[in-house]
Amino acid sequence: MERRDFFKKAIGTGLIAGAALKLTGYNALFAAENTTSTAAPGDKIDLVAVMGGEPDVMFDKGIAELGGMQAFVKPGQTVVVKPNIGWDQPVEVGANTNPVLVKRIIQHCFNAGAKEVYVFDNTCDKWMNCYKNSGIEQAVKDAGGKLVPADSKNYYREVSIPNGVNLKKAEVHEKILDCDVFINVPILKDHKGGRISVCMKNLMGIIENRYWWHGHNLHQCIADFATYSKPALNVVDAYRVMLKNGPRGISSEDCVIKKSLLISTDMVAADAAAAKIYGIEPDEVEYIKLAHAMKVGNKNLTELNIKRIKV
Amino acid sequence: MKILKPLRVVVAVIFMLFTTLLFLHFNSFLKIPDISVILELQYIPSLLKFLQGVTWIAFGFVVFTLLALLFGRIYCSFICPLGILQDFFIRVNRLLSKRNKNRYSYHQSLKWLRHLITGIALVSLILGSTSLLIWLDPYSHFGRMATHLLQPIYYFGNNGLALIVNHLGYYGIYRIEVHTFHWATFLFASFILVLLLALTRIKGRFFCNSLCPVGGFLSWISKVSIFRLAFEPSKCISCSRCEKACKAESIDYKNMKIDFDRCVACYNCVDTCNVNAITYQVRFHKKAASNSKNETIDSGKRQTLKSILFAGTALSGLSFTIDKESFSSFVSKNPAKSKLPVLPPGAISITHFKGTCTACHLCISACPSNVLQSTFIEFGIDGMFIPKMNFDVNYCQYECNLCGDICPTGAIKPLKLEDKKITQLGKVQFIKDNCVVSQLEKDCGACAEHCPTKAVKMVPYPNKSGKNLFIPEVNTDLCIGCGACEHPCPVRPHKAIYVESNPHHLLAQKPVIKKIETPKSEQEEFPF
């Protein structure tokens, strides 16, 4: 009865939700404008690191340092927000991006004038269960975005990766290929295959056959793909960090509350900083080293202009 | 009396609709409470449940046996989905035919075949095997047609619609891929469909009176029904309308005779009669003819049936071919495949499963991840088409116990989610010499990543190149055999990790939950 329900509610609640969203959205925008004044004008910030608040509050503070969402999303543009929704797990387990953060990012996009905000992930567990039980389905609905499926080959188109060493082509989700702005919203977590899962690893959720990567030098494939797909913005959810049994997790006991958030246009920088939050050196993660060498970004945190904010 | 036919049509349409919906897209209908309870009325499934000593009343077969004793074969036209399907074909046929007339005439059906099949079905039930019911049960025939013929058509239509509405920016309707195709089952279901289309066209409900064991058994009972349809000779004007309308070809208007044991209780005769000459009448006299002679099994016939089955086996092939596309940059050499098929959680053991499953494929049509797939002869010649867990297609979802909840025969017992999560379908086996990590000295970890219990975990792997690598290590005590490791393993043609089936399900240990030892959970400073 999902569909019928949808039809019934789409018109009624859609209008109300939309109106409510507009109100909260504008408030958030004001808050953002208030904090931008703290940043020194003219300095190019490579990475914003926020700590100590709730995910949505940290994002408000952090994005303001980069000139607000309007620096990335222009009126009338189509946006894809790509969280990690890989597993049929509740928020406490920390296997999926925090829905509070996802919701806030979508609101910022609409406030900046986005025409449409799409959200999806090529999940590991059954997609419908992942979308629903992660809390992201509700978050997207509340924010007025559109959650789209990614479980069929039909949604993907082949692209070539000219700078790839191992990976010469990949099938990428059509929403990524067709959108104006791609915002990558991974959660930082344990991952024995890749060591940690952050920005570049999260891109495995926009391609069709990720198992091929596992069989052909995973790290090289991750780095190869990063040369092709560079999100306009990366927001790392490190509020609840899974330190073991990743990336699926068994229970909330696998996590530590770190209340952190990273924002950067540079995936390599964000992954390097995330590695430090996780508790390892960036050089222990091979794909970070490879991507740095392939000039995807800069892993040397000391060379970066990092804006640190405590909430 | 005239109300009987409209009543039958209404009940039949409702049952057919709900049964079909159950098979088409089970997940979305789960939100309606207890819709699958309608399957409790199905004759063979409820009988199988009853034979397993289920404590609550398996009421379907009791109800319809008693009803048969009173009024005849109500099941055949009111509830049986295959019977209703045939009525549907007959109606369509009549609408399409030029003369738009009923044209049946009184014929004896293949009496010996009906008794033989009913006898065989009974004996096989007593022997605790469903091997023949798989081939005979009308509900299961319908189930396979719905799953393997109708569901793909429905998905095709859905996907067409999804294409349009997604293009318009609405995503409430989404693509659903057909993952259930299985050539042998498809051919078998198609064959039965074509057979029914042909039979209904020339001989009406011939199937129900010659090939169906439920029809056969109920015909024995309705021989002694208390109330039965019969002529009132004083009213009859010998117009022949009733005989022409009788889909069971059981009315002989000239002799004002109705073979009530073959009557499928459709009440078309009652409806068509202008003078109300056919009515239910109490029957006290006349002893029922003994069928004992026909009950004995003709071993020659059985042998023939067996040899037909064996001929089928000769045509066997792979049920679901593993994706041949090379996923890994090397070719694995060591075979990695379970010797026995892996059973769904709740199926208890191969013996229990084979003794109770009639391969109606409701679980296959409903399984959200499509890990449940049809088989051909993996369960042996006496268990064809029984579902198994096929990890080439997908893996069993940790948070799902749907198949046990919906199985109408009790072949897959309902399990509480917490019990399902420790039911061990099989044990994980790791073949190091097939693994990406040992062969390429590169990271992978796809298996451990998916494992919900961490029966597969990654441990440091010392290697020649001195790299910091991790390799899978398995703990079969924690393994539940869900196939989450086997499915994503990228190595071909043989995977590096697989589930070896437990012929009898066991209990796994609960996953170890251990708190992370950190002095304080919140950091105060940025680590960079």
Q: Where are the domains of chain B?
A: 4-293, 350-507
Q: Considering only CB atoms, which chain B residues are within 8 Å of A251?
A: 511, 513
Contact A193 B443 (CB under 8 A): yes
Per the CB < 8 A criterion, the answer to whether A206 and A169 are in contact is no
Q: Which amino acid is at B254?
A: K
For residue B288, pLDDT over 60 is answered with: no
Q: Tell me what pLDDT residue A207 has.
A: 96
* Cα–Cα distance, B401 to B421 (Å, whole number): 9
Q: How far is B23 from chain A (nearest CA, A)?
A: 15
Chain B residue at shortest CA distance from A209: B327
Sorted by sequence, the CB contacts under 8 Å of residue B267 that are 6+ apart come out as B4, B5, B8, B77
Contact B442 A218 (CB under 8 A): yes
**What count of other Cβ atoms lies within 10 Å of the Cβ of residue B511?**
18
* Cα–Cα distance, B501 to B345 (Å, whole number): 12
Cβ of residue B520 closer than 8 Å to a chain A Cβ: no
The beta-carbon neighbor of A256 closest among B398, B449, B516 is B516
Contact A1 B488 (CB under 8 A): no
* Cα–Cα distance, A160 to B102 (Å, whole number): 65
Q: Tell me what pLDDT residue B313 has.
A: 42
Chain A residue at shortest CA distance from B510: A250
Cβ of residue B440 closer than 8 Å to a chain A Cβ: yes
Per the CB < 8 A criterion, the answer to whether B219 and B114 are in contact is yes
- How many interchain CB pairs under 8 A, A with B? 151
For residue B234, pLDDT over 60 is answered with: yes
The arithmetic mean of pLDDT across residues B294-312, rounded, is 46
Pick from A281-295, B236-250, B447-461: least confident: B236-250
* Residues A182-204 pLDDT 10s: 999 999 999 989 999 999 999 99
Q: Using the structure block, give the residue that is written with the tokens 């023939």.
A: B304
Indicate the burial class of B73 (C-beta count within 10 angstroms; 0-12, 13-18, 19 or more).
buried
For residue B170, pLDDT over 80 is answered with: yes
Q: Considering only CB atoms, which chain A residues are within 8 Å of B440?
A: 217
Q: How far is B404 from chain A (nearest CA, A)?
A: 18
Candidates A96, A216, A222, A307: best to mutate against B (most CBs of B within 10 A) is: A216
Task: Tell me how many degrees the CA angle B425-B429-B435 measures, rounded to the nearest 5.
Answer: 140
For residue B289, pLDDT over 70 is answered with: no
Contact B528 A248 (CB under 8 A): no
Contact A306 B528 (CB under 8 A): yes
Is residue B278 helix, strand or coil?
strand
Q: Which amino acid is at A29?
A: L
Q: How far is B491 from chain A (nearest CA, A)?
A: 7
Task: Please give the CATH number for the structural domain made up of B350-507.
Answer: 3.30.70.20
Q: Tell me what pLDDT residue B132 has.
A: 84
Contact B444 A212 (CB under 8 A): no
For residue A238, pLDDT over 90 is answered with: yes
The arithmetic mean of pLDDT across residues B462-481, rounded, is 93
Confidence of residue B34 (pLDDT cuts 50, 70, 90): low
Q: How far is A32 from chain B (nearest CA, A)?
A: 22
* Cα–Cα distance, B142 to B151 (Å, whole number): 12
Buried-exposed string B204-240: b where 16+ CB fall within 10 A, e elsewhere: bbbbbbbbbbbbbbbbbbbbbbeebbbbeeeebeeee
The beta-carbon neighbor of B173 closest among A3, A216, A284 is A3
* Residues B116-127 pLDDT 10s: 999 988 888 888
Confidence of residue A25 (pLDDT cuts 50, 70, 90): very low
Terminus-to-terminus CA distance in chain A, angstroms?
44
Cβ of residue B312 closer than 8 Å to a chain A Cβ: no
For residue B357, pLDDT over 70 is answered with: yes
Q: How far is A309 from chain B (nearest CA, A)?
A: 9
Q: How far is A149 from chain B (nearest CA, A)?
A: 7
Indicate the burial class of A244 (C-beta count within 10 angstroms; 0-12, 13-18, 19 or more).
middle
Sorted by sequence, the CB contacts under 8 Å of residue B82 that are 6+ apart come out as B138, B139, B141, B142, B196, B207, B212
Candidates A211, A212, A277, A306: best to mutate against B (most CBs of B within 10 A) is: A211
Confidence of residue B111 (pLDDT cuts 50, 70, 90): confident
Window 461-490 of B: residues touching A by CB (8 A cutoff) are: 468, 470, 488-490
ipTM score for this prediction: 0.85
Contact A192 B449 (CB under 8 A): yes
Cβ of residue B327 closer than 8 Å to a chain A Cβ: yes
* Residues A206-218 pLDDT 10s: 999 999 999 999 9
Q: What is the dihedral of CA B366, B372, B378, B384, to 10 degrees?
A: 0
Segments making up each domain of chain A, as ranges: 2-310
Q: Please state, in angstroms and as integers, the Cα–Cα distance from residue B362 to each residue in A150, B8, B176, B357, following that order.
A: 26, 25, 17, 11
For residue B450, pLDDT over 90 is answered with: yes
Candidates B396, B443, B516: best to mutate against A (most CBs of A within 10 A) is: B443
For residue A26, pLDDT over 50 is answered with: no
The arithmetic mean of pLDDT across residues B359-370, rounded, is 93
For residue B464, pLDDT over 90 is answered with: no
Cβ of residue B299 closer than 8 Å to a chain A Cβ: no
The arithmetic mean of pLDDT across residues B407-418, rounded, is 93
**Which pair of structure tokens corresponds to residue A144?**
């007025």
Per the CB < 8 A criterion, the answer to whether B371 and B393 are in contact is yes
**Taking the CA of residue B511 as centre, how many other CA atoms within 13 Å lie in the half-sphere pointing to its CB?**
21
Per the CB < 8 A criterion, the answer to whether B350 and B379 are in contact is yes
For chain A, strand residue ranges (E) read 47-51, 78-83, 116-119, 146-147, 156-160, 169-173, 181-185, 187-191, 195-197, 233-242, 255-264, 306-310
Total number of residues shown for chain A? 311
For residue B473, pLDDT over 80 is answered with: yes
Q: Which amino acid is at A137?
A: E
Closest CA to B139 of B3, B239, B39: B39
Contact B490 A255 (CB under 8 A): no
Q: Tell me what pLDDT residue B326 has.
A: 53
Bridge-based pairing of strands B278-282 and B372-373 is unpaired
Per the CB < 8 A criterion, the answer to whether B147 and B246 are in contact is no
Long-range contacts of range B132-137, CB-CB < 8 Å, 24 or more positions apart?
Answer: B133/B44, B133/B213, B133/B358, B134/B357, B134/B358, B134/B359, B134/B383, B134/B384, B134/B385, B134/B386, B135/B384, B136/B211, B136/B212, B136/B213, B137/B44, B137/B213, B137/B214, B137/B358, B137/B360
Angle between helices B43-51 and B59-71 (to 10 degrees): 120
For residue A247, pLDDT over 90 is answered with: yes
The beta-carbon neighbor of A256 closest among B445, B448, B521 is B521
Q: Considering only CB atoms, which chain A residues are within 8 Å of B444?
A: 193, 214-215, 218
For residue B102, pLDDT over 90 is answered with: no
Q: Tell me what pLDDT residue A218 has.
A: 95
Which architecture does CATH list for A2-310?
3-Layer(aba) Sandwich (3.40)
Q: Please state, in angstroms and as integers, the Cα–Cα distance from residue B134 to each residue in A244, B185, B208, B354, following that order.
A: 47, 12, 16, 10
Contact A248 B452 (CB under 8 A): yes
Cis amide bond preceding A247, omega within 30 = yes
Q: How far is B457 from chain A (nearest CA, A)?
A: 8
Window 115-154 of B: residues touching A by CB (8 A cutoff) are: none
For residue A69, pLDDT over 60 is answered with: yes
Per the CB < 8 A criterion, the answer to whether B425 and B480 are in contact is yes
Q: Tell me what pLDDT residue B330 has.
A: 82
Q: Considering only CB atoms, which chain A residues are within 8 Å of B460?
A: none
Confidence of residue A267 (pLDDT cuts 50, 70, 90): very high
The beta-carbon neighbor of A149 closest among B175, B397, B442 is B175
Cβ of residue B175 closer than 8 Å to a chain A Cβ: yes
Confidence of residue B309 (pLDDT cuts 50, 70, 90): very low
Q: Tell me what pLDDT residue B375 has.
A: 95
Pick from A155-164, A223-232, B25-34: least confident: B25-34
Q: How far is B411 from chain A (nearest CA, A)?
A: 25
Contact A256 B436 (CB under 8 A): no
pTM value is 0.86
Q: Considering only CB atoms, which chain B residues are within 8 Å of A212?
A: 327, 490
Q: Tell me what pLDDT residue B59 has.
A: 79
Contact A51 B523 (CB under 8 A): yes
Contact B513 A250 (CB under 8 A): yes
* Cα–Cα distance, A198 to A203 (Å, whole number): 9
Contact A148 B491 (CB under 8 A): no
Q: Considering only CB atoms, which chain B residues are within 8 Å of A195?
A: 443
* Residues B189-206 pLDDT 10s: 999 999 999 999 888 999
Q: Considering only CB atoms, which chain A residues are within 8 Å of B491?
A: 215
For residue A30, pLDDT over 60 is answered with: no
Contact B488 A260 (CB under 8 A): no
Confidence of residue B521 (pLDDT cuts 50, 70, 90): very low
* Cα–Cα distance, B41 to B461 (Å, whole number): 57
Confidence of residue B347 (pLDDT cuts 50, 70, 90): very high
Confidence of residue B21 (pLDDT cuts 50, 70, 90): confident
pLDDT-above-70 percentage for chain A: 86
Chain B residue at shortest CA distance from A5: B172
Chain A residue at shortest CA distance from B435: A215
Q: How far is B98 from chain A (nearest CA, A)?
A: 40
The arithmetic mean of pLDDT across residues B507-524, rounded, is 77
* Cα–Cα distance, A65 to B138 (Å, whole number): 69
**What count of other Cβ atoms lies within 10 Å of the Cβ of residue A18?**
11
For residue B144, pLDDT over 90 is answered with: yes
Contact B398 A258 (CB under 8 A): no
